[in-house]
Structure 1
Amino acid sequence: MTAHDHHFDAASPAPLNISKVAVGCADIDALSKRQQLRALNGEVPLITRFMPKRASELIGGSIYWIVKHQLVARQRILGFAEREEDARTIVRLEPQLVLVRACPKRAHQGWRYLAAADAPADLGSDTDAAEMLPAELMRRLIALALI
């Protein structure tokens, strides 16, 4: 990381989100395993070519992952940094994947901005019977966009 790091400021207005296809991940488990392998010092670095123009609005927001044309999980964006060897951007993510209520989302290249109003709710953000389901059944229902 360099002096060009951007960090979360709690006084900022509601953060913006982005969506991105989890390329090569057949399901949430594959995405989770990938992120665990990439975790370093309590963060998961995501390398991208360019710093988003609205980077300061994204800090504190989340990246919503698309698997099989569904938004299925999110990770909080902690900040941005520049990789010294090639000037690519490092998106610094929390290691925890938060499952969200699956909703349809077309695949796209790179990432796209996602307004808070368009972002799906976290699973378990309201108390319901789905929270009591076995994990495997929950994953299957999410994959089918039934919850």
Structure 2
Amino acid sequence: MALNILKLCVGCESVEDLEAWVAHRLEERRRNGEPAEHWHVTRMVPTRGAEITDGGSMYWVIKGSVQCRQLITEIRPFTDNEGIGRCKIVLAPEIIRTEWQPRRPFQGWRYLKAEDAPADLGKGGAGLVELPPKLRQELAELGLL
């Protein structure tokens, strides 16, 4: 069974912000003649990388709730220009919306077992996606999502 990573999506106010950021970064890489891939850099290298790249996802916490995920395709440890070990977690560009699941703030990232991960929004959740982000946030804060 795949293992996931849970991460705060700092700087994003909504899933739409994350989608725009990913699109911007991919376009920027294309313009620069670089491979059009998306990644997130972390300081710590996951020790359970084989489990993660076997179908695991990065679940993003936005404004206090898990709201979406991206499939993790590769984990690339590297050393930055200052000699500090870091890790690129390569992500599929598609952002999959999930049921909202409240989460308290934390630093870094956490492993997230498949059985603890929120379900993807199916066809029945399409109406939720169409709600304005502010309204979705208010409903989540009231415990209605």
Which of 21, 29, 32 aligns to 2:8? It is 21
Provide structure 1 residue ranges, at least 5 long, that are not aligned to the other structure: 1-13
Matched residue SS, 1:18: strand
Mapped pair 1:30 → 2:30:
no
SS at match of 2:12: coil
Paired letter, 1:76? L
Q: Whole-Å Cα distance in 1 between the matches of residues 50 and 117 of structure 2?
A: 19
Determine the structure 1 residue equivalent to 2:96: 98
Tell me the secondary structure at the aligned position of residue 115 of structure 2.
helix
Q: Normalized per residue, which structure has more helix? A: 2
**What is the TM-score with the length of structure 1 in the denominator?**
0.78
| 1:77 paired to 2:72 | yes
Question: How does the TM-score come out when normalised to structure 2?
Answer: 0.78
Matched position secondary structure for 2:39: strand
- The 5-angstrom pairing of residues 1-80 of structure 1 reads 14-39=1-26, 40=29, 41-59=35-53, 60-80=55-75
Match of 1:7 in 2: none
SS at match of 2:99: strand
| Cα distance between partner residues in 2 of 1:134 and 1:21 | 21
Cα distance in 2 between the residues matched to 1:139 and 1:27: 6
Q: How far did residue 57 of structure 1 move?
A: 1.1
* Residue ranges of structure 2 left out of the alignment (5+ in a row): 30-34
Aligned match for 2:119, one of 118, 121, 128? 121
Contact 1:38 1:45 in 2 (8 A): no
Question: For the Cα contact (< 8 Å) 2:128–2:136, is it kept in 1?
Answer: no
* Residues 78, 93 of structure 1: 8 Å contact kept: yes
SS in 2 for 1:123: coil
Q: Percent identity?
A: 38
What is the CA RMSD across the aligned residues, in angstroms?
Answer: 2.1
With over 3 angstroms needed to count, the CA separation of the structure-2 counterparts of 1:135 and 1:103, relative to structure 1, is closer
Number of aligned positions between the proteins: 130
In structure 1, give the amino acid aligned to 2:95. L
Contact 1:42 1:94 in 2 (8 A): no
Q: 1:32 is aligned with what amino acid?
A: E
2:117 partner amino acid: A
